[in-house]
Structure 1
Amino acid sequence: MANAHKPVLYGMIAALAAVLGVVAAVTLMQPRGSAGLQSGILLPQPRALPAFTLTDQDGQALTAARLAGSWTLLFPGFTYCPDVCPTTLALLKQVKASLGPDSALRVVFLSVDPERDTPQRLKSYVAQFDPSFVGATVAEPQLAEVARALGIAYAKVPGATPESYQMDHSAAMILLNPQAQVVAYLTPPFELPKLVADLRPLTGKAP
């Protein structure tokens, strides 16, 4: 049975390696003193995403077309996460509040646990942090495809019972521009002042 999970695990390891490779390459390419992000890495060129269809917390299709027109900060996680996910979402609530009502930033919480994170559960979960946050889910194998395109790594960690498993996942946030292209990876540890300083020039006005 354990062997059945190896292809998925290897795929997630490959996705993580790809992200680390991109971050390392971009870091080396950026000259010292060049303008960049305090909280992560700007890609040299925006990276287009393949066509995808997620399901949002209201049961509606969430596609690249819906994400277009606004800056989007996408954070992977799951509602049963004991620490990193709620802490990061609480921080993102502060980020949005600091940016102000004119900010064109959309926050999307992408579940890496589609078995348990139904749209209804996601709706009640993200609303605890900010009613404007979007929860998104998609079943396997589509989740693996979307995660690979975004550079998200995740893997199931068995618990004491079949229902008590946890999910290991990358904690970087992915910044999409108003064309729904990947333009940056924001990496932990996250600090409110740095995130606000990075995002304000981009999202201060609607495109």
Structure 2
Amino acid sequence: MPSNHATPRSLLFVILGAGALAVGLLAAIWLQKPATVALQSGTLLQQPRALAEFSATDQDGRPFTRDSLTGHWTLIFPGFTSCPDVCPTTLAMLKNVVAQLGPDAASLRVVFLSVDPERDTPERLKQYVQYFDPGFTAAVTPEPELQRLAQMLGVAYAKVPGATPEAYTMDHSAALILIDPQARIAGYMTPPFDAARLAADLRAVTAR
């Protein structure tokens, strides 16, 4: 005749086994979730968005294409060299970010994308970005390629007439576009910017 202790002991084993199975299932579900990083300075896309091929020219007159964005992380900042405030302020902030990253900055490129191809020649862009940091890259492309590239990146821009035809200015998005080493849009960093918080975010993202 079976012992009176057998049923409670069997029930205990069943409960413990079910608990272990539940924990295992929860762990499996968690591991299958897309990795996310909480950012102080912006938003990471849950699924990076691939960029199509495009054609531009860098500050040295060399081709700047989708392949130029592979193999490293990139921050793209849209702007123009005649910008009186936002562009120089942001580039100075990015110079500070690179300094704070120290050795970790080796995996990051900063690209200044001109939204003013009428005035921003490669030579002018080179002089402009190197004033802030010799390691910064600049790129420019004429219309309609600029509009196509801007739409892919999620960048808005518009010409604002001035007192003379040459005195126009440009309104443009102030967000930074984060590109991963596979040349995909990984997220957007949005103002107001703080160099320390942005550096911490970039360190966390690039270390994944």
Residues 1:121 and 2:124 aligned together: yes
Deviations along 1:34-74, whole A, 9 cap, x unmatched?
74211001101010011101100000001111210000000
- The unaligned stretches of length 5 or more in structure 1 are 1-33
1:67-146 paired onto structure 2 within 5 Å: 67-103=69-105, 104-146=107-149
Deviations along 1:5-31, whole A, 9 cap, x unmatched?
xxxxxxxxxxxxxxxxxxxxxxxxxxx
Determine helix, strand or coil for the equivalent of 1:178. coil
The equivalent residue for 2:18 is: none
Determine helix, strand or coil for the equivalent of 1:43. strand
For residues 37 and 154 of structure 2, the distance between their equivalents in structure 1, rounded to whole angstroms, comes to 24
Residues 1:203 and 2:200 aligned together: no
- Residues 58 and 119 in structure 1, CA contact (< 8 A), matched pair in contact too: yes
The equivalent residue for 2:167 is: 164
Change beyond 3 A, Cα 1:96–1:122: same
CA-CA distance at 1:101 after TM superposition: 3.1
- Residues 73 and 181 in structure 2, CA contact (< 8 A), matched pair in contact too: yes
The normalised TM-score by structure 1 is: 0.81
Larger radius of gyration: 2
Determine helix, strand or coil for the equivalent of 1:100. helix
Deviations along 1:110-151, whole A, 9 cap, x unmatched?
000000000000000000000010010000000000000000
Q: 1:152 aligns with which of 155, 171, 175?
A: 155
Aligned AA (2:192): P
The normalised TM-score by structure 2 is: 0.80
Residues 1:180 and 2:183 aligned together: yes
Aligned AA (1:165): Y
- The unaligned stretches of length 5 or more in structure 2 are 1-35
- Residues 99 and 204 in structure 1, CA contact (< 8 A), matched pair in contact too: no
The equivalent residue for 1:55 is: 57
The equivalent residue for 2:9 is: none
**Structure 1 stretches of 4+ moved >6 Å:** none
For residues 103 and 80 of structure 2, the distance between their equivalents in structure 1, rounded to whole angstroms, comes to 27
- Residues 39 and 194 in structure 1, CA contact (< 8 A), matched pair in contact too: yes
- Residues 70 and 178 in structure 1, CA contact (< 8 A), matched pair in contact too: yes
The equivalent residue for 1:46 is: 48
CA-CA distance at 1:169 after TM superposition: 0.2
Q: What is the identity percentage for the equivalent residue pairs of Structure 1 and Structure 2? A: 65
Aligned AA (2:165): P
Determine helix, strand or coil for the equivalent of 1:124. helix
Deviations along 1:65-109, whole A, 9 cap, x unmatched?
121000000000000000000000000000001001342110000
